[in-house]
Amino acid sequence: MTKLLQRIELIEERLSLRRQDKTVVFTNGCFDLLHPGHVRYLSAARALGDALIVGVNSDRTVRLLKGEGRPILNQSERAEVLAALQAVDYVTVFDEETPRELIAALIPDVLVKGGDWPIERIVGREGVESAGGRVLSLPYIDGSSTSDIIERIRKSLA
């Protein structure tokens, strides 16, 4: 079975995992230009449960969040790269401005974001916590961001 799932397929898989009493972890992001910070973060997230689901922002929403010129890799490429990681069990692309609807449909046991997100600002927190789940902000790795990498490339070309 592929790791790349449409929302309806992912919801069915989530229900199956719940019936098996598996702990599901969810995170989301742009994941443009995958770097060591992403890999470490996703590995830490996966260690919190039995399966890790990653929601990937669509190209349209990346442009809204990051501006013109982004993403560098399109949504299919970003999803494919993420799916190739051992730590990632499932990947889906979402086109809403936030992952709130996707999180509400999945109700993960653990909702995770990077340390640059304070817990009170993590989208979907209320729904996950009200269902008995946990919401965590994992440590941020300094100097390990796509924006930093793009800036370093720009400076090296100047």
Q: What are the structural domains of the chain?
A: 7-157 (3.40.50.620)
- DSSP code at position 140: P
pLDDT of residue 143: 61
Band of the pLDDT at 151, cuts 50, 70, 90?
A: confident
Q: What is the secondary structure of 37-63 as a DSSP string? A: HHHHHHHHHHTTSSEEEEEEE-HHHHH
pLDDT of residue 139: 86
* b/e sequence 52-84, b meaning 16+ C-beta within 10 Å: bbbbbbbbebbeeebeeebbbbebeebbebbbe
* φ, ψ dihedrals at 141, nearest 5°: -100, 110
Band of the pLDDT at 26, cuts 50, 70, 90?
A: very high
**For the residues 119-133, what does the mean pLDDT come to?**
97
What are the tens digits of pLDDT across the range 47-67? 999 999 999 999 999 999 999
3-state secondary structure at position 139: coil
- Lowest pLDDT segment from 71-75, 91-95, 118-122, 154-158: 154-158
What's the rounded Cα separation, in Å, for the pair 46 and 39? Answer: 11
Q: Which residue has the higher pLDDT, 118 or 133?
A: 133
pLDDT of residue 63: 96
Task: Establish how many alpha carbons lie within 13 A of residue 28's alpha carbon, considering only the half-sphere containing its beta carbon.
Answer: 26
pLDDT of residue 142: 67
**In this structure, are residues 141 and 37 in contact, taking their beta carbons and an 8 Å threshold?**
yes
Band of the pLDDT at 24, cuts 50, 70, 90?
A: very high
- Whether the pTM exceeds 0.85: the reply is yes
Please give the single-letter amino acid code of residue 10.
Answer: L
